[in-house]
Amino acid sequence: MDYKPDHNQPRFGDFGATPPPARPETTRLSLLAVASLVTGVLALVGCCIPAAGLLPAGLGMGSLFAIHRSRGAVAGRGLAIAGLMLGSLSLIVGTGLWIGASSMASKFGPVYSQVLDPDPAVVRTVLAPKPASELTDGQIEAFQQALQAEHPGAVTLPSGLWGLYAGFAQAGGNPNRYQSMRDPSEGAVLPLPAQVGNDWFYLIILMSPDQKIASGFPPVLAVADAGFERADGTMVWLSEVQTPIGEDSQSPPTDQTDDRAGTPPPEPEENPGG
């Protein structure tokens, strides 16, 4: 009698084995992967906030884990990877920008406050070569006196990124309006919030386009000019302030003598009819 094997019977080694789950016929797109991609694009656009990259990176990792556990039921692995990469890139770029901005902001207050130093020699250390050679001590003192007349007291400039943010909030207004007051070829206008007691105003620093005070990253540009706004809206610039004529001014007094003092008066004309 011929033996015919029954292929429907379990084979040796198949006893106790759990058959793999059937692959689902339909799949759905992972909402976490979509959210990771969208937030990754937004974080890269606004990478000035380093923590913004944490959200898309976290969503990307979570969606990848969920997609792997779904065994094919959930799709969107490529979107999740893209969101994870965008979030990581935003985190790296934003951290670098934040470190650079913090380093620069920490120098603004200590460096540019020297414009208000009572010693003109100290003021010249932060000026560009041209204004340092052209401005007189009398002009520097007259500018500081005009500032004290408008804002009596000790002037302080906040340092650090958070200090500047708080100062801008206290000073209020629109500091960008000062940008149009000077020709861009002269340099970049930097409005800095300054404080005298509870009074806040803007000290305007015109940074030289090419002269640096010191090397390093980021570099600190020399001062080409400085100014402030009076309560009536008029601007006072260091380069335009006028010094009074006198002994305290380095400008030589103008000659007020009459050139005709040494010449004899004209003889009266004879009256022809007399």
Q: Distance between CA 261 and CA 142 in Å, rounded? A: 35
Q: Going by C-beta distance under 8 Å and a sequence separation of 6 or more, which residues neighbour residue 75?
A: 27, 28, 29, 30, 67
Per-residue tokens: 223: 């001062």
Q: Label the pairing between strands 28-29 and 188-196.
A: unpaired
Q: Distance between CA 219 and CA 103 in Å, rounded? A: 10
Task: Give the position of tokens 């002037």.
Answer: 155
Stated as kind and residue range, the H or E segment containing 130 is helix 129-134
Q: If you average pLDDT over each of 2-6, 102-106, 201-205, 207-211, which comes out highest?
A: 201-205
Average pLDDT over residues 5-21: 56
Contact 180, 126 (CB under 8 A): no
| Cα dihedral across residues 17, 18, 20, 25: positive or negative | positive
Three-state DSSP state, 193: strand
Neighbours of 43 (CB within 10 A): 27
pLDDT 10s digits, 128-182? 999 999 999 999 999 999 999 999 999 999 888 888 888 999 998 889 889 888 9
Q: What's the pTM?
A: 0.62
Ramachandran category for residue 153: left, alpha or beta (phi over 0 → left; psi -120 to 50 → alpha): left
Q: Residue 253: its pLDDT value, please? A: 39
DSSP string, 92-107: HHHHHHHHHHHHHHHH
Q: In the chain, what is the greatest distance between 2 CA atoms, to the nearest angstrom?
A: 179
pLDDT 10s digits, 44-80? 887 667 678 888 889 889 988 888 888 888 888 899 9
Q: Which amino acid is at 3?
A: Y
Q: Residue 54: its pLDDT value, please? A: 87
Higher-confidence residue: 24 or 121? 121
